Amino acid sequence: MTVLPATEIVSSKEFFDYEAKYVPGVCEEITPGRMNEEEVARVERIAKKVYAVLDCKGAVRIDYFLQQDTGDFYFIEINTVPGQTETSLISQQVRAMGMEVKEFYTQLIDEMLATAGKE
């Protein structure tokens, strides 16, 4: 199981609404997000646990808040069909890992095919 680097979304609006999500320049997407090593490790542990408990397969996106002052983690939702464009979060995260998007999905498909016959 691979956990991609988190993307920190900084909105210029009070709420992350339709405009914040889809109008260029309203939000800044920072990949990898600005977290210390402990926070990165903790988020990775939680993401792996959520993925396993929900019996996910393939690439998913887990949305959460990590409260800066307290370090509290708030799971929001899991997107089992995340965007796949070049500007989508997963594409940004794959590139932040130093991989090409095509390479990532080729590897993912190969792994899924290899495990499909074993279940």
| Host H or E run for residue 48 | helix 37-53
Q: Which two tokens stand for residue 80?
A: 């089992």
* CATH code, 22: 3.30.470.20
- Note down the domain range covering 42: 8-116
Q: What's the one-letter identity of residue 46?
A: I
Residue 88 lies in a domain: yes
Residue 22 lies in a domain: yes
pLDDT-derived band at 119, boundaries 50, 70, 90: low
Residue 2 lies in a domain: no
Based on the structure, what is the number of domains in the chain? 1
Mean pLDDT across 20-39: 92
pLDDT of residue 61: 95
Residue 92 lies in a domain: yes
pLDDT of residue 116: 80
Residue 87 lies in a domain: yes
Q: Which two tokens stand for residue 108?
A: 């993912």
**How many residues in total does the chain contain?**
119
* H and E: helices and strands count for the chain: 4, 4
Which of 7-16, 39-48, 106-115 has maximum average pLDDT?
39-48
Residue 68 lies in a domain: yes
Sequence-ordered strand ranges (E) for the chain: 8-11, 27-30, 61-66, 73-79
Q: What's the one-letter identity of residue 44?
A: E
Residue 30 lies in a domain: yes
Stated pTM of the model: 0.83
